[in-house]
Amino acid sequence: MISYVAYVLFQLVTHKRMLTVDEGADSDEEDDDDSIGMSAGSAVALMGVTTLIIAISSELLVVAIETVVADATISASFIGIILLPFAVNACEHASAIRFAMQDRPGLSIGIAVGSSTQIALFVVPFTVVMGWALGQPMDLVFGAMNTSVMILSVLVAMVMVIDGRSNWLKGFMLCTAYIFEGVLYWSMPDG
């Protein structure tokens, strides 16, 4: 989690200017209308209500997933590793696609890679620490197959973004890698 703090410090403090350069926007079209917005109290209240709704929805989702795993032939690994991230991050995916279509690849890649970085550096370690605090047996031992899939995913993503350009073949390769992982987890038994 210290790595995540360093990542946030890098993005928001030390390299803020470098990371806010918008390659697709024209400087003449800036809309700095400060009269539109929320007060701090309204924003906090909205975040609280939204958090409550998400907590209730998450509990309902967990019950539904347990029912599906018990009654259907879909494994918990496939649901947790393939379906849930796809559904949960739908807004981020839509934003990344929209910015890519507007010829703003830096922002698009930042959304996609930033989300993965946040999960890897903060969410997973925080979940393990909270599991320990709540008496749930959790660790960061993912097993050989999950670790291999993670390494493969990182390598494929790195090769795709390293030159800063894209084409249809790179998109096809990313989709193929995701389908490969989906088939792998579909056929993997729980346990």
The distance between the two most distant Cα atoms of the chain, rounded to a whole number of Å, is 58
Task: Note the residue count of the chain.
Answer: 191
What is d(CA 191, CA 189) in angstroms, rounded to the nearest whole number? 6
Q: Residue 75 in contact with residue 190, Cβ under 8 Å? A: yes
- Give the pLDDT of the chain (191 residues) as one tens digit per residue: 787 788 778 777 776 666 555 555 554 444 455 567 888 899 999 999 999 998 899 889 888 888 888 888 888 888 888 888 887 888 888 888 888 888 887 788 788 788 888 888 888 889 899 999 999 888 888 888 889 988 988 888 888 878 777 788 888 888 888 899 899 888 887 76
> What is the pTM (predicted TM-score) of this model?
0.66
CB 96 within 8 A of CB 112: yes
For the four alpha carbons of 21, 22, 28 and 30, in that order, the dihedral sign comes to negative
